[in-house]
Structure 1
Amino acid sequence: MNSLSPEVALSRISPELRPLLCSVVRDGRVGLDSSSCLRITDLKSGCTSLMPGPCCDRFKLHIPYAGETLKWDIIFNAIDPELPPDFIFGEDADFLPEPSELAHLVSWDAGKPECLLQLVKELLQQYHLYQCQRLRDSSRLLFEYGSLLEDPNYGHSMEIYAGRKNSWTGEFSARFLLKLPVDFSNIPVYLLKDTALDPGEDVALLSVSFEDAEATQVFPKLYLSPSIEHALGGSSALHIPAFPSGGCLIDYVPQVCQLLTNKVQYVIQGYHKRREYIAAFLSHFGMGVVEYDAVGFTKLTLLLMWKDFCFLVHVDLPLYFPRDQPTLTFQSIYHFTSSGQLYSQVQKSYPYSPRWDGNEMAKQPTAEGWRDCKSESESSLVFIIKHRGHCQGSLLAWGSALCYICCW
């Protein structure tokens, strides 16, 4: 298989056929996995060597479907480009689509650039029905399919690849690919900006592989579009539960949906809570605010003073704030480490509750005192930042026993 860039592949196609292929290569997102485009490889020509090039009129089309890649051969006739193409469906020799259901084949119009792409989509609909029929070889898998089909949340957003043989056991096996009905529209835009150009629709796909007909070995896997994976904290941020022994898809899939929905809500809530928190500090500290993240509200730096001693406090707010506790870093503006860096100390252990209100977080922090500490090689100045008054509802009740250590 020769892998070519889309533009190089198109340059080798017969000019009369090129508009049809442009639509496939550039706009060809089909099925549930909208992040993967159709690809063409193995370009060949059925013309004689006397015909001037480029004259490629046959190729292999790679189609993402249910976690597999279908490879269909498409054969045109460059000498008579008005004719519709022939298809060879790879390993699925018994796949015989119903011609009457292929409107763009029945009324083929080579002058319409989208005609081939629409025909491929119609063939995929027929292919889906073909795969569903293959589930009849397993009553258990047919039950799984039927129960999902009756649920409007999943019945129309499902791809199935059935009847494949497990390479180890030779057992009948199948894979279900479902688009999960999770709303991503309220995720803050800034979290979606660092993804690849045009990554496709924001989508979550659940793949569930049954490695035998009786469903004794079931392996689920969650796939997120690049933008959503980035927004939720990376590929390691979400772990779905194992498929329960004796469980059913119609019970398992909603659990994964709810887990993902909760994760999305945590991210949205965290954004609004961080913004509330930063606003409270801007209000209470005003001139003491050195800088802050005005887009994602993930960082804040304060310049504080106890008597005549000034120091910086860096606050890092995590993605899942307030569920996850912020990190405080105290930094001297006078003293350096042996490597030439300003001395700092990270503080993660302090009183904290995610239920505290944003405005109360920033009330009346004062430097209560200091004490000298000594080690074998250095002495340190320790500041204790303590909240004055009661702690309920106060985020800066964190400071009830925060220590800042800098080289003295």
Structure 2
Amino acid sequence: MVEIFSNNDHILSNFPICLRKTVEELCLRSKISFRSIDLTDITINSIRSNNRDALDNFHFILNVPYAGKNLKWEIIFDPENFDFAPDFDFNDDEFLSYFDIDTITDNVPSWKNWNLKNPNALSQVLSEFLCLYKQHQVRKLHLENIYSRYSDEYKVLIDDKNGIDEENIEVIVDGGSIHFLIRINVDCSSLPEYVQPIIYKGNNLSEHTLYNQGDDFAHLKVSVSKLDGSRSNYSIQLSPRLEQVIGNFKLSFADVPKDGTLTELVSRVSKTLESHLEQIVDHHKMKKIYITHLAAVCFENIIEYDSQYFSKAAFLQNVDDYNCLVTITIGTKFPLEKPSVSLSSIYCSEAKSCSKLLDTYPYNPEFKPEVNIEYLLEYLQDVIQDFQNHKH
């Protein structure tokens, strides 16, 4: 049995020094297919490496993401001289049997022109081989009669009128099944930023950091296990930011007709995603207008407000020398649903910290945010007086 060492956070230390920059570039700054290869996608084969010192490891196994599957490609360097281009074992007897050496040389020039000093050398070779692999899979789809239905659907899908570039589709033909991964065009320019969760570092708490983990994407995965279309599985893969802003929203494929085409499926998914994202953008825009206007009107008394998701604000409201903390929280159904408004104060006749949730303040979802804020502030003048004189 071949022993494979698992990866860990220090995987780079398992590579020869001369390859570390190349591997780092491959995993941290390069994209091979629709997504990048991660450090955890790489394992080291100890048997092929003959139990050599870790710094001399020369045989690596990569899980290359393609069409929603992982291709196990092996990279084998000459342990005596890493300046030579590596050999590849693609674990696929059919791949490359269609191509002669001239075709490979023409399509994978980075392999012939291998330069160890170029940190992008490995990622370039892998990208070119993956393009050749895709050509092989598309050729199988079109040449073998049993796949004729999906061959025709593929041709229609990449037709200019349908707006799907061939580079935005990955396909793999595996026995009697077909797997498609289709990049759905979505506009994320107006979406809120991705917020990294709070991370503890020892005894120190790092603050929220705004960042997006690479490009935003939405990928539709279609797996056809019966070529008559009677058994197909669908799923959607989203980037971290889309996962975060969409939340618990799930695309339903229950009503997808068995005889539906790839073009119809892509169109349905695109329209559903587009509609939902428009709602999210509108919701975020309205929250931002409401909270920023509130912060501007109450700028002298504002305590804090959420400047990332615009979901919360707190300010002091003074009525007849009585200070009361007003906290406003905006829910997911805003502006149809009024924000939650609560009062709290430590100035109580019985020396208790008191709070009160306001349910009946005036609000109309058809009014502009600034109008609703004006009505709320007027309402607070009276209700805070009552709150000041409350009894337990």
Q: Using structure 1 for the length normalisation, give the TM-score.
A: 0.73
CA deviation map 1:124-183 (0-9, x unaligned) = 11111222233343223223322222133343211112225xxxxxxx222211121112
**Correspondence 1:31 to 2:36:** no
Structure 2 segments unaligned to the other structure (5+ residues)? 198-208
SS of the residue 1:54 aligns to: helix
**Correspondence 1:224 to 2:235:** no
Hey, what does 1:112 align to over in structure 2?
Answer: 118
Amino acid in the other structure paired with 1:76: F
Would the aligned equivalents of 1:210 and 1:218 in 2 still touch at CA under 8 Å? Answer: yes
Would the aligned equivalents of 1:344 and 1:406 in 2 still touch at CA under 8 Å? Answer: no
Hey, what does 2:341 align to over in structure 1?
Answer: 328
Matches of 1:368 and 1:73, distance apart in 2: 72
Q: 1:212 aligns with which of 226, 236, 244?
A: 226
Matches of 2:25 and 2:301, distance apart in 1: 57
Amino acid in the other structure paired with 1:262: S
Q: 1:128 aligns with which of 130, 134, 145?
A: 134
Would the aligned equivalents of 2:7 and 2:40 in 1 still touch at CA under 8 Å? Answer: no
Matches of 2:390 and 2:147, distance apart in 1: 69
Hey, what does 1:146 align to over in structure 2?
Answer: 155
Cα distance change on mapping 1:113 and 1:352 into 2, 3 Å: same
Hey, what does 1:361 align to over in structure 2?
Answer: 372
Matches of 1:308 and 1:11, distance apart in 2: 65
Cα distance change on mapping 1:46 and 1:218 into 2, 3 Å: closer
Hey, what does 1:186 align to over in structure 2?
Answer: 190
Structure 1 residue 332, shift from structure 2 partner: 5.8
Matches of 2:184 and 2:167, distance apart in 1: 11
Amino acid in the other structure paired with 1:183: D
Most deviating of 65-74 and 135-144:
135-144
Amino acid in the other structure paired with 2:129: L
Matches of 1:144 and 1:153, distance apart in 2: 12
Percent of aligned pairs with the same amino acid: 24
Most deviating of 255-264 and 14-23:
14-23
SS of the residue 1:281 aligns to: helix
Amino acid in the other structure paired with 1:219: N
- The higher radius of gyration belongs to 1
Cα distance change on mapping 1:336 and 1:247 into 2, 3 Å: farther
Hey, what does 1:62 align to over in structure 2?
Answer: 63
**Correspondence 1:247 to 2:260:** yes
Amino acid in the other structure paired with 2:65: P
Matches of 2:37 and 2:118, distance apart in 1: 25
**Correspondence 1:259 to 2:268:** no
Matches of 1:48 and 1:310, distance apart in 2: 75
Amino acid in the other structure paired with 2:287: R
Hey, what does 2:206 align to over in structure 1?
Answer: none
Which structure carries more strand by proportion?
1
Matches of 1:141 and 1:266, distance apart in 2: 34
Cα distance change on mapping 1:2 and 1:308 into 2, 3 Å: same
Would the aligned equivalents of 1:343 and 1:406 in 2 still touch at CA under 8 Å? Answer: no
Would the aligned equivalents of 1:59 and 1:75 in 2 still touch at CA under 8 Å? Answer: yes
SS of the residue 2:366 aligns to: coil
Matches of 1:405 and 1:256, distance apart in 2: 56
Matches of 1:133 and 1:121, distance apart in 2: 18
Would the aligned equivalents of 1:278 and 1:297 in 2 still touch at CA under 8 Å? Answer: yes
Amino acid in the other structure paired with 2:180: F
Q: 2:168 aligns with which of 135, 149, 157?
A: 157
Q: 2:104 aligns with which of 96, 99, 103?
A: 99
Structure 1 residue 350, shift from structure 2 partner: 7.8
Matches of 2:45 and 2:123, distance apart in 1: 18
Matches of 1:357 and 1:293, distance apart in 2: 20
CA deviation map 1:179-212 (0-9, x unaligned) = 21112123234x4454797722222222122231
Q: Using structure 2 for the length normalisation, give the TM-score.
A: 0.76
Amino acid in the other structure paired with 2:104: P
Structure 1 residue 32, shift from structure 2 partner: 0.7
Hey, what does 1:167 align to over in structure 2?
Answer: none
CA deviation map 1:332-372 (0-9, x unaligned) = 655699xx76343374x8876543212211234336988xx
SS of the residue 1:138 aligns to: helix
Structure 1 residue 224, shift from structure 2 partner: 1.4
Would the aligned equivalents of 1:35 and 1:225 in 2 still touch at CA under 8 Å? Answer: no
Cα distance change on mapping 1:2 and 1:86 into 2, 3 Å: same
Which structure carries more helix by proportion?
2
Amino acid in the other structure paired with 1:95: F
Matches of 1:405 and 1:219, distance apart in 2: 63
Matches of 1:187 and 1:366, distance apart in 2: 33
